[in-house]
Structure 1
């Protein structure tokens, strides 16, 4: 039966959850170059004179060279990748980014851009001794037009801070991620991040109105107009959205922010099988229509990992699958009636077995915490192979039971969860520790299977460092050659985020 959400005790605050996951293991990961057998490319080597130059334009406090200070910037948050950088630079404005890149290009010094470092494919950490260009100090909001909803800000603004800012002015950010408390909007743009409410608000290719970016030679590309329509020539902003810092470094973003919904409702339901999830999704699109903002699914093992590893409470009983349905609208009564009719209909049909609904912000956050914490829960007990793929909905969950059988008792957990509304499923394989044996069982097998289904090997996390050799499963030779041509044109010395996105051979 559907019941109101009761008060839940023992809930860890999201920041505490993040800290628990972050410090689950203090062991340093193996160097990426050794782990993945990568050879350093022919770049320059940083000298004391280079460090002196950087200090002359940034001041000494924004040039990190001490090994202990630099180490955190060398490691990704899931502790899979580890670089060997000896210098971290923290610019405060576009002019400084331009000066740094111009100098590095002339000296053939490789540079790795870094935002909140919340990526899952090693795209935001160096592989060898690339200079880390960290954008955390470029965090100013330049303007907000509360009529058009156009927000202009610097790349280092944290997503959650932006959302809080625009909410106070009757708007919301079109993007919502589990990592919103840490991730930067520049990194979101550079990876074309998807998130929890893509079903309603679309991806960043549609929400970003303009971009300012810096090319490898220091040239500033100003495409920062905050216009909904600008049909003058090539859409250059799209070159930088999703290119993961390989064509230029995003320094400012103009984003279209939707109106803050006046009525928000959230339902969390138990479902017997995946076939019923698809039926429920079809019904939700028909019954809830314009107010449907999110339709998420998670299997039992996904939710149970957050319950067991992070001690988060599950507001309903154990079921094979769970569905999270959110609505955004402008009329409490209207939206409540639509949701009630949908629930009554699907309880009677048997698609919804049990669940809870709420419109109270604190209780909605409790449920979202349960869903958003899945990505980090496995890290508490071991190493997690994470896959982020798009698959046609009829085959959406097929790979999870196949992988469970293929990996067998070598894995602690094999689970699937994700955004049914856009066909993006996250598959996590948790093992006691990283093993090349298990890696070889999973890869490239999982990408081959995705390719057979005409899916994408990366739905929202990008290609980064870990997937370039598999990108051909989603892009053919002609597309890859064009990508290489663009890279050669915009970064002829290859200094921008090397070893990422593009394979060495097509």
Structure 2
């Protein structure tokens, strides 16, 4: 194939494992590079071809294979859209332990391949803990059946973890076995205002202590993030009076006793107000109001896209240092850009976004490599939940030592000796 040609192959709805195997066996024998693709919702170029790679699109591998109502174990194909799985489980009285803003498009195979984090990791943990098994097709077409449904299996190396977060560079995920928790019907959501970032940190510590087992989400956004949503998204309003606050916190609790949970949250909010940790707040009175609170938080990426050009960074940092980077970036860029910060405070994940009228190489040189150097200096990760893909592959050394990257390269060489799977992604291009 000439450089720039792209052949898209969609697997059919029957005998899909064999079809993926045949495609990879053929491509491997002829040294044709392959890019696995799901919902294509990533932010780091992990699912797009660079030159003349063959695209293996998994969208038609979207069958739910089985669901056990006793154990809560779901087995499905890799092309299942996350929102469809959420709806299916909701009808069964269960929930997915993963929830993302892109749930209407992203696929579970891609979620696993990028080790997606999402909104409720603070409660349910990462996919490394929830995925029980995988079926994976290797570069040479061999199918590796690790599709276990046991929560405890201590026989040898747990190889599935190699593929969780490998971004399709070691194999294509065709089936997933995942543990899903029962749906709890007592859900409360509060939207709060804090006057400074220290209060946000203290509020998080207090929430973990006093809300404990019912805390399911702890999200934060700064005033600039809220302004973007209010100015660029229709039908969104501030649930608090129009006083300007520097930070906003969204807390969600999920439990089994509606009266107890509500009283526990109200008691926590009263204590936080008396301690001066929150300056204002609103507690959702029904499901519609709760959804409107969540819409503010989930609407930030859409609002940023509507505002113009945006440089996006997904970072993991010590909670006490997270917002320091936002403030330093504002000082560094002055009036040339709108710097906003939001994310999953409960698990130390900052979404740093620099919004400008148009893309500008001069601004980019002010951002990079400064943002990576700052993150490395403070012992953070340059990718918290979106992977490395193409855009960050060469920056991996900011988060991983040379010996670790060399070991990763050795594993890649062993499983994909011809280097056909998702080239130029995850590992340094050299």
Q: Aligned match of 2:71 in 148, 156, 160? A: 148
1:52-451 equivalences under 5 Å are 84-92=4-12, 93-311=16-234, 312-316=236-240, 317=242, 318-358=244-284, 360-411=286-337, 413-451=338-376
CA distance in 2, matches of 1:261, 1:181: 22
Task: For residues 189-247 of structure 1, give each alpha carbon's deviation from its aligned partner in whole angstroms, at most 9, with x where no partner exists.
Answer: 00000000000000100000000011011001100011101111111100110000000
Contact preservation (8 Å) 1:85, 1:132? no
Q: Does 1:464 align with 2:389?
A: yes
Of stretches 361-370 and 266-275 in structure 1, the one that deviates more from structure 2 is 361-370
Mapped to 1, the partners of 2:307 and 2:259 lie a distance apart of: 45
Q: Do the aligned partners of 1:85 and 1:126 also contact (CA within 8 Å) in 2?
A: no
Question: TM-score w.r.t. structure 2 length?
Answer: 0.97
TM-score by length of structure 1 reads 0.82
More displaced 10-residue stretch of structure 1: 454-463 or 363-372: 363-372
SS where residue 252 of structure 1 aligns? strand
Distance in structure 2 (CA, Å) of the matches to 1:171 and 1:460:
24
Q: Return 5+ residue gaps in structure 2 as ranges.
A: none
Aligned partner of residue 281 in structure 1, secondary structure: helix
Structure 1: gaps of 5 or more residues: 1-44, 47-82
Structure 1 distance, partners of 2:196, 2:335, is 23
TM-aligned CA deviation for residue 337 of structure 1: 1.1
Q: RMSD of aligned C-alpha atoms?
A: 1.2
Asked if residue 479 in structure 1 is aligned to residue 396 in structure 2, the reply is no
> How far did 1:128 drift?
1.2
**Residues 473-482 or 400-409, more deviating:** 400-409
Distance 1:438 1:480 in 2: 30
Contact 1:295 1:325 in 2 (8 A): yes
Distance in 2, Cα, partners of 1:369 & 1:263: 20
Deviations 1:95-154 (A, max 9, x none): 111111110111111111111111110101111121111111110000000111100000
After superposing on structure 2, the runs of 4+ consecutive aligned residues of structure 1 that deviate more than 3 Å are none
